[in-house]
C-alpha cells in the first residue's frame, strides 16, 4: 500500500463523512488505485478522543505514507491523484499543498509548507506540515497524537516537523476547511464540544 487516508468521524457527521468517502472512492476507482490507496475510518460516539482515534488509525495503517482528512472538510476531485503523483515522483518525507479556509463570510487561502520565514497576511495563512499532509512511514510511526479533542494536531505537527528533511509542494488548492463553531464537535467554544459535557 502506498497511501493510507485516515478519517475520524461521529454518527452526527454521517452526511459529510459519506460525501467525503464517496469523493475519495470515486478517485480511487477512476485512477485504478484500489491496491495503492486505503481509506481507514473510525466512528464512535465520543467515547474516544480525536487523538486516540488518530493514533488507532496510525497503528493499523499499511501505507508508505499517511494523511488524515477531517470528516467535515472537502477535497478536490483530483486530491488523491495529486498526492500520489507527489509521492511517486519525489519520495519526499512530506507532500504539502494549498487550501482554503472559510468561516462565515470570511474566506482565506492557506499554504502548508516547511518554509519557516513566511508570515500570515490578510489573504494567505502559512502552516507547517501537519496531519493533513502525506507523511512518510519512517516519520509518522515515530510520532503520536495527544489524547485530547482539541489541539492534538498541533502536537503531532511539532513532532513531525523535527524529523522532516524533504518536501514536495503542490502549488494548488486541494483542501477546503469550512469552520462553523456551532457545528464543531471539538472546538472549546462549541456547545457540542466535549469541553461542555
Higher-pLDDT residue of 153 and 136 is 136
What pLDDT is stored for residue 196 in this prediction? Answer: 34
**pLDDT exceeding 90 applies to what percent of the chain?**
80
What is the value of pTM for the model shown?
A: 0.90
3-196 CATH fold:
Spore Coat Polysaccharide Biosynthesis Protein SpsA; Chain A (3.90.550)
Would you list the domain boundaries of the chain?
Answer: 3-196
pLDDT tier at 139, thresholds 50, 70, 90: very high
What pLDDT is stored for residue 79 in this prediction? Answer: 98
127-to-33, 80, 83, 144 alpha-carbon distances in Å: 29, 21, 18, 19
What pLDDT is stored for residue 152 in this prediction? Answer: 87
What pLDDT is stored for residue 187 in this prediction? Answer: 44
How high does pLDDT run on average in the chain? Answer: 91
pLDDT tens column, 51-73: 999 999 999 999 999 999 999 99
Vertex 71 angle, CA 56 and 26, to 5°: 100
Give the contacts of 170 (CB within 8 A, at least 6 positions apart): 82, 83, 86, 95, 96, 97, 98
Amino acid at each position: 500500500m502506498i497511501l493510507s487516508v485516515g478519517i475520524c468521524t461521529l454518527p452526527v457527521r454521517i452526511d459529510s463523512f459519506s460525501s467525503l468517502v464517496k469523493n475519495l472512492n470515486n478517485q480511487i476507482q477512476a485512477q485504478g488505485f484500489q491496491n495503492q490507496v486505503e481509506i481507514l475510518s473510525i466512528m464512535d460516539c465520543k467515547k474516544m478522543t480525536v487523538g486516540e482515534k488518530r493514533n488507532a488509525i496510525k497503528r493499523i495503517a499499511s501505507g508508505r505514507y499517511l494523511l488524515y482528512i477531517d470528516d467535515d472538510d472537502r477535497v478536490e476531485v483530483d486530491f488523491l491523484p495529486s498526492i500520489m503523483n507527489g509521492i511517486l515522483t519525489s519520495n519526499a518525507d512530506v507532500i504539502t499543498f494549498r487550501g482554503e479556509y472559510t468561516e462565515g463570510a470570511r474566506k482565506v487561502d492557506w499554504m502548508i509548507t516547511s518554509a519557516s520565514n513566511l508570515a500570515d497576511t490578510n489573504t494567505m495563512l502559512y502552516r507547517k506540515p501537519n496531519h493533513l499532509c502525506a507523511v512518510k512511514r519512517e516519520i509518522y510511526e515515530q510520532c503520536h497524537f495527544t489524547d485530547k479533542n482539541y489541539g492534538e494536531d498541533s502536537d503531532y505537527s511539532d513532532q513531525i516537523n523535527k524529523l522532516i528533511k524533504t518536501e514536495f509542494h503542490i502549488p494548488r488548492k486541494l483542501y477546503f476547511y469550512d469552520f462553523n463553531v456551532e457545528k464543531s464537535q471539538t472546538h472549546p467554544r462549541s456547545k457540542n464540544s466535549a469541553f461542555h459535557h
